[in-house]
Amino acid sequence: MAQRILTVSIRNEVDVVAARQRARQIAGLCGFTHQDQVRIATTISELARNVFRYATNGQVEFFLEGTTAPQTLLMHVRDQGPGIADLELVLSGNYQSSTGMGLGLLGARKLMDAFEVHTGPGRGTLVILRKLLPPSARLVTTLMLGEMGASLTIQQPDVALSEAQHQNQELLATLAELKTRQDELLQLTRELEDTNRGVVALYAELDEKADHLRRADQAKSRFLSNMSHEFRTPLSSIRALAKLLLDRVDGELGVEQERQVRFILDSAGALTDLVNDLLDLAKIEAGKVEVRPATFQVGEMFSALRGMLRPLLVSDRLQLSFEAPDDCEMHTDEGKVAQILRNFISNAIKFTESGSINVRAEVLPGNSAVRFSVTDTGIGIEAANLPIIFEEFSQVENHLQRHVKGTGLGLPLCRQLANVLQGEVGASSQPGVGSTFTATIATHYTGKLAGDGMSSERLRQAAADDGRRAVLVVEDRPELQLLYERYLHQSEFRAIAATSLAEAETVWRHTEPCAVVLDLLLGNRDSWHWLVQIKRDESRRHVPVIIASDIDDKRKAIGLGADAYFQKPLERDELLAALRALVSGQLDRTTSTANAVNM
């Protein structure tokens, strides 16, 4: 519900000036920047002048709309005049007026986030304006609104004079700022002229070096990713031949010979591990890693890991345990998840002489991801060393280091694999107490690398045309993306998922949707300004936007241009009915508009 702030009557020229002054004051109290305060005041001034000129009298009303941040400054400029006969022509920008009325309306439309005009013979004109408060503005409560109203009741002794003085001060300040900017620009121009030639030469040199480095990096990645067979074949042969010797296939070995062959076999095994890690990292960097998502139970994967890793426990003083919730199901690359956990557990075994190692899986709220943790009672890691352990070839010195072998590639590989699976890794530790390594992996793999843009596979899916109409679903929760996809399955619509506003823009560049399903909260960002951006874009405003959100602020959403509003959970029948009505142009928003006008 909109809360009234102030009403200003328009009966003469002084009232027009007062309306401008009040608009600026209210904008300032709401937290708008100085520039936006001037825009709002100028818009109200122009429309109030139209009221006085064409209808003799009327009023300007100020409201605060919305129960969630960012709230909306709602303004009504109404009169009981003859109405605007050529409204469509005026708003098209082709209306020729000697009085400038059309320019006032066009200016208001450009400066505000939402703009409506309702007019007709015998019922006057109502102009509705909305401006979203800036993200930094505080949420205005009813008590604060009362304090705001009280401060506005203090009238200036001479409104016209005080407003003229204020505008003169603004003009002088603007002129002074322009003079300063002009001087700075002249100085900068001189400096640019002096350095231009050097900059051009530097850019040419940097381009050459960057191109050289890029080619070298690509060559390195291609070399390593293409050399897997050439690297692994001789190592496999060395290990196989060493095992033949140890198995006495060609005769007995002396004690010293057996010891030397075992050294050969151990060294070949260590080198194989190093080559495998290097090749895995190279494949990821070269973009050649393949993700094979499949549905599996985490408990079953833990059972396989338990059987695989128990032989590594050489001491009875070290216990390895696994904990997984019942029916914990994931749809991702099981092999890569297991590889991450194997590296974590192997490290824990290496650096834990006695105690326990606990491997645990925890489903995060909303079933969006599973957090795996490997907790040991080992030697721990100093806090200063935690930031470097996931960097390539970085190892922390400790008294156990000389007894274990490693290259510093295991943890960096875990970080890269988690990123490929739309997740992340982390670590916490206390020296002498133990360490916990975590990997948070998306429950449902959707083909997007964490922190990157949309994958080429998903972009191809977005651009694919199977005869159904594309619906852009902007939702960051994987389970809801899947839900909407199933809702539209076997209908005339197909869902294209975007987890962020940046992804949504990318999708829109590749294919124009027939409608948008938009969540108002994406992570720690809201989508209000993007809704305004769509509805102010002449090329996109015709695309209907359906809000599906946990936020209960329908009035504000409809006022800013949303075509339909639902609170989660949204049912399949509701979504399909809204899409069919909106896309075919049959949804009647008259009731919503009437409610906004007759508040």
Q: Of the ranges 117-121, 230-234, 575-579, which is most confident?
A: 575-579
Q: In a 3-state reduction of DSSP, which class is residue 97?
A: coil
451 pLDDT band, cuts 50/70/90, is: very low
| Cα atoms found within 13 Å of the Cα of residue 430, Cβ hemisphere only | 3
Residue 590 pLDDT exceeds 90: no
**Cα dist. 519→249, 488, 525, 558, 565 in Å?**
68, 17, 10, 14, 10
Beta-bridged to residue 116, according to DSSP, are 128
pLDDT tens, position by position, 342-377: 889 988 888 888 899 999 999 987 777 899 999 999
247 pLDDT band, cuts 50/70/90, is: confident
pLDDT tens, position by position, 15-25: 888 899 899 99
The more confident residue out of 338 and 201 is: 338
pLDDT tens, position by position, 188-217: 777 777 677 666 677 677 777 777 777 776
2 pLDDT band, cuts 50/70/90, is: confident
Average pLDDT of the segment spanning 498-515: 87
Please list, in sequence order, all residues whose beta carbon lies within 8 angstroms of the beta carbon of residue 280, skipping any fewer than 6 positions away: 289, 413, 416, 417
Given its phi and psi angles, is residue 411 left (phi above 0), alpha (psi -120 to 50 degrees) or beta? alpha
Average pLDDT of the segment spanning 99-119: 80
User: Are 21 and 74 within 8 A, CB to CB?
Assistant: no
The more confident residue out of 156 and 57 is: 57
The more confident residue out of 422 and 580 is: 580
Continuous segment of H or E residues that includes residue 171: helix 159-226
User: Are 114 and 532 within 8 A, CB to CB?
Assistant: yes
pTM of the model: 0.51
Continuous segment of H or E residues that includes residue 457: helix 456-463
Q: Which residue has the tokens 């098209």?
A: 92
User: Are 472 and 498 within 8 A, CB to CB?
Assistant: yes
Give the number of residues written for the chain: 599
* 456-597 maps to CATH 2.60.40.10: no
Give the pLDDT confidence score for residue 167 in this predicted structure.
62
Average pLDDT of the segment spanning 276-304: 76
Mean pLDDT of the chain: 80
- Of all residues in the chain, the percent with pLDDT exceeding 90 is 25
User: Are 334 and 296 within 8 A, CB to CB?
Assistant: yes
Query: What is the C-alpha separation between 396 and 384, in angstroms, rounded?
Result: 10
State the CB neighbour count (10 A cutoff) for residue 455.
14
User: Are 19 and 52 within 8 A, CB to CB?
Assistant: no
221 pLDDT band, cuts 50/70/90, is: low
Q: Superfamily for 3-155?
A: Histidine kinase-like ATPase, C-terminal domain (3.30.565.10)
Q: Which fold has domain 294-442?
A: Heat Shock Protein 90 (3.30.565)
Residue 581 pLDDT exceeds 70: yes
Give the pLDDT confidence score for residue 414 in this predicted structure.
87
In this structure, are strands 515-518 and 469-474 parallel, antiparallel, or unpaired? parallel
Average pLDDT of the segment spanning 118-132: 90
550 burial type by CB count under 10 A (0-12 exposed, 13-18 middle, 19+ buried): exposed
Query: What is the C-alpha separation between 128 and 76, in angstroms, rounded?
Result: 5
Query: What is the C-alpha separation between 381 and 370, in angstroms, rounded?
Result: 25
Of 353, 297, 18, nearest to 158 (Cα)?
18
Residue 157 pLDDT exceeds 60: no
In this structure, are strands 545-549 and 564-567 parallel, antiparallel, or unpaired? parallel
